[in-house]
Chain A
Amino acid sequence: MTTFAPARMRRTVLEMAYAGSTVHIACAFSIIELLTVLYRHHLRYPNNDPRADGRDYLVLSKGHGVMAQYACMHELGWLKDSHIQSYFKDGTDLKGLSDSRVPGLEVTSGSLGHGFSVGVGIALGLKRKGTDQKVYAIVGDGELNEGPIWEGALVAAHHRLENLMLIVDKNGFQAMGTTDDVLALGDLPAKFSSFGFETLEVDGHDEAAIDAAIRQLWAAGPTKPKALIARTVKGKGVSFMESVNLWHYTRLDPQSFAAAVSELGFPGALK
């Protein structure tokens, strides 16, 4: 079985969102391929243990996309079908934003501009310890409005954190509109390059291209932190959600759930 199949993970997200009547579907869909490639090819978890000392760190700074990470944790067997089916039920552990008390999630985020700084600290600590562990921090493009991101970028470059990769989910939307309309970000690759990052831009839904870009970044600039600007589509995978910002807030009803599932063309995600 191919693990981390994007269509199955999107199906898992839909199952969760429908079971819990939750929002934030579209911002989970935009990072599915990024997570697919990271979990399948890059992240190392000794003994498949989400808390293993020697692990790499995936910091989901844009905590709103957490359902995509739950889907990966389901692929890994860290979450069971029952976790998916009981999402948002009273007394359960999986929240609507990333919570570090859940094994597999490294930071508590959702309030934006936190996770990246924590990731910078983890990377600085690992570098001081002399390990080869790596830190990936996924931030949203809307999240780049937050000041601490840029504080962290200065610090990452100053301390030459070559073990840190910032991945921007550049889906072009934030809560109230497009990033261009709300607070234009300008030329992101140029910005991060000027901050001292080794920077690449990639189609964030092309698995082979993502994998190649990550490898190229790790191979280049040994004293620089890395930035991968991933052009993505908010709501990717379901036509009526794609680039429709309403799906940041909309809950599935039986009709939209059925329509989305049939578009994915993937048999049930649950075992």
Chain B
Amino acid sequence: MREAFSNALVRLALADSKVLLLTGDHGYSLFDAFRKSCPDQYINAGIAEQNMVGMAAGLARVGFRPFVYGLAAFIPIRTVEQIKLDIAHDDLPVVLLGDGAGFVYSHLGTSHQSTEDIACTRAIPQLQVLSPADRFEMTAAMDYAYATNGPVYLRMGKADLGDVHPGPISYLQQGRLLKVCDGQADWPGLIATGSMVRAALDIATSLDLMIWSAPFLKPLNEDDVRAAAQATNGLVTLEEHSVLGGLGAAVTEITSEHQPTRVLRIGLPDRFSEHCGTYAYLLRENGLDTDTVRNRVETFCQLLATNSIALA
């Protein structure tokens, strides 16, 4: 997935000399290919993220196409105000790349973890929020971010979990869900984003669920969410992010108004991670490992089966 990201960035930069990569002194080996292919389009802006985002706005104002890279804990979180005021307010074509979102930096603690970035960025007008799930979505998301010519936050989470799609995606349609697994209509449908799409598919080996990937957190296509709710019995959302303000919120905002159904939101409870450990350990600690998720989905199914009001 990181290779797909690097390849896409190099390809876009070679095709358009106005594409610039700005990094806040992060991405050591990730940008080897970029620095080799497009050395003049690479700017290490130093450990100074706020200025870097403001500077990207200035570069965009005079015709450049900045891609601004940092850890998601910093881009966007440290720079939310610069993104709001300097970039999104003026609809400038800046792509913000937040790497290591979720619990990727599991051993490093809250400083480097990012489980509130979707909530913070979704509320910023004119900013689109993307969260690719595998290398194919990543390539398509980078192409989309460049082509859309406006402000985009592209969230990059755990990147080595494997594919969720059988092959390349020709292009992303704004806001649309991508179906990744068919299942039974009397089971809940599962909508996941980013790293959690792979986890959803792992659960589907034992539960017969329809599963969609949500490469967009914003906008999120209303018709697709309604259709998913209509095609299934209740919905489950799954994300490596707080249950507040992320995918679960985006889905329930739509269903509550347009297609009322029971929705189980699975994500990080409203808390910081507590202990040190591997990525798998952090998922377990926060209830996002496949066993816990499977159990919660099964319990949700039983609830739906015994609660006829929920099915109304």
Interface residues of B in 72-108 (CB under 8 A from A): 81-82, 85-86, 89-90
Inter-chain contact B62/A155, CB cutoff 8 Å: no
List B contacts of A122 (CB < 8 A): 58-59, 61-62
A108 touches B (CB below 8 Å): yes
User: Which A residues lie within 8 Å of B52 (CB)?
Assistant: 151
Of the listed stretches B42-50, B195-203, B274-282, name the one at the interface; the rest are far from the partner chain: B42-50
User: For residue B86, which residues in chain A have a CB less than 8 angstroms away from its CB?
Assistant: 107-108, 114, 117-118
Partner of B50, one of A106, A119, A148, A158: A148
What size tier do the contact residues of chain B reach?
Answer: 20 to 34
Contacts of A68 in B (CB 8 A): none
Hey, what's the 0/1 contact readout for B243-280 against A, CB within 8 Å counting as 1?
A: 00000000000000000000000000000000000000
A14 to B53, CA, bound (A): 36
Instruction: Please measure, in the bound complex, the distance between the C-alpha atom of A248 and the C-alpha atom of B22, giving whole angstroms.
Output: 38
Q: Across the interface, do A117 and B46 meet the contact criterion of CB distance under 8 Å?
A: no
With A100-B90, A108-B90, A151-B51: A114-B58 Cβ-Cβ less than 8 Å: no
The reply on A129 being an interface residue by CB < 8 A is yes
Given the known interface contacts A155-B45, A155-B46, the answer about A120 and B55 at a Cβ–Cβ threshold of 8 Å is: yes
* A111 touches B (CB below 8 Å): yes
Residue of B51, B52, B89 with most chain A CB atoms under a 10 A cut-off:
B51
Given known contacts A100-B90, A155-B45, A155-B48, A114 and B54 CB-to-CB distance under 8 angstroms: yes
B59 x A124 contact (CB < 8 A): yes
Which residues on A sit within 8 Å (CB–CB) of B59? 121-122, 124-125
The answer for the CA separation of A209 and B90 in the assembled complex, in Å, is 36
Asked if B63 and A152 sit within 8 Å, CB to CB, the answer is no
| Cβ-defined contact, B82 with A114, below 8 A | yes
The answer to whether B54 touches A120, judged by C-beta atoms less than 8 angstroms apart, is yes
CB-contact partner of B55 in A101, A111, A113, A152, under 8 A: A152
In the assembled complex, how far is the CB of residue A194 from the closest CB belonging to chain B, in whole angstroms?
A: 17
Q: Does B210 contact A (CB under 8 A)?
A: no
* Across-interface contacts of A109 in B (CB, < 8 A): 85
The smallest beta-carbon distance between B93 and chain A, in angstroms, is 13
Chain B residues with CB under 8 A of A120: 51, 54-55, 58
Is the pair B62, A100 in contact by a Cβ cutoff of 8 Å? no
Could you tell me which residues of chain A, from 138 to 181, have a CB within 8 Å of some CB in chain B? 147-148, 151-152, 154-155, 158
Q: Is the CB of B62 within 8 A of A129?
A: yes
Q: Are A151 and B58 in contact (CB under 8 A)?
A: no
User: With A100-B90, A125-B63 in contact, is A118–B58 under 8 Å at CB?
Assistant: yes
B89 & A117 in contact (Cβ 8 Å cutoff): no
A123 interface hit (Cβ, 8 Å): yes
What are the residues of chain B within 8 A of A147 when measuring CB–CB?
50
Contacts of A119 in B (CB 8 A): 58
Q: Is the CB of B63 within 8 A of A129?
A: yes
**Would B82 and A155 count as touching, CB distance under 8 A?**
no
Output the least CB separation between B262 and chain A (Å).
Answer: 42
Minimum CB–CB distance for A190 against chain B, Å = 22
> In the complex, what residues of B have CB within 8 A of residue A126's CB?
62
* Closest A residue to B56 using CB positions: A121
B64 interface residue, CB < 8 Å from A? yes
| Contact residues, A208-267 vs B (CB, 8 A) | none
- Shortest Cβ distance from A123 into B: residue: B58
CB distance from A47 to the nearest CB of B (A): 18
Measured CA separation A101–B91 after assembly (Å): 11
Complex Cα distance, B46 from A119, in Å, reads 17
CB distance from A128 to the nearest CB of B (A): 8
CB distance from A117 to the nearest CB of B (A): 3
With a cutoff of 8 Å between Cβ atoms, the chain A residues found around residue B58 in the complex are 117-125
Is residue B192 within 8 Å, beta carbon to beta carbon, of the partner chain? Answer: no
| B61 with A121: CB separation less than 8 A | yes
Judging by beta carbons under 8 Å apart, are B63 and A117 in contact? no
Flag whether B57 is at the interface (Cβ < 8 A): yes
How many angstroms from the CA of A111 to the CA of B61 in the assembled complex?
19
From 29 to 52 in chain B, residues with beta carbon under 8 angstroms from any chain A beta carbon are 43, 45-46, 48, 50-52
Q: Which residues of A contact B53 (CB under 8 A)?
A: 117
24 CB contacts below 8 A, A to B, read A107-B86, A108-B85, A111-B85, A114-B54, A114-B86, A116-B54, A117-B53, A117-B54, A117-B82, A118-B55, A118-B58, A118-B61, A118-B86, A120-B51, A121-B54, A121-B57, A123-B58, A124-B59, A125-B61, A125-B63, A151-B48, A151-B51, A155-B55, A158-B46
| A-B contact sample (16 more), CB < 8 A, given A108-B86, A117-B82, A151-B48 | A107-B86, A109-B85, A114-B85, A117-B51, A117-B53, A117-B57, A117-B86, A121-B61, A124-B55, A124-B58, A125-B58, A125-B59, A125-B63, A128-B64, A148-B54, A152-B48
Instruction: Using CB atoms and an 8 Å cutoff, list the residues of chain B in contact with chain A.
Output: 43, 45-46, 48, 50-64, 81-82, 85-86, 89-90
Interface residues of A (CB under 8 A from B): 100-101, 106-109, 111, 113-114, 116-126, 128-129, 147-148, 151-152, 154-155, 158
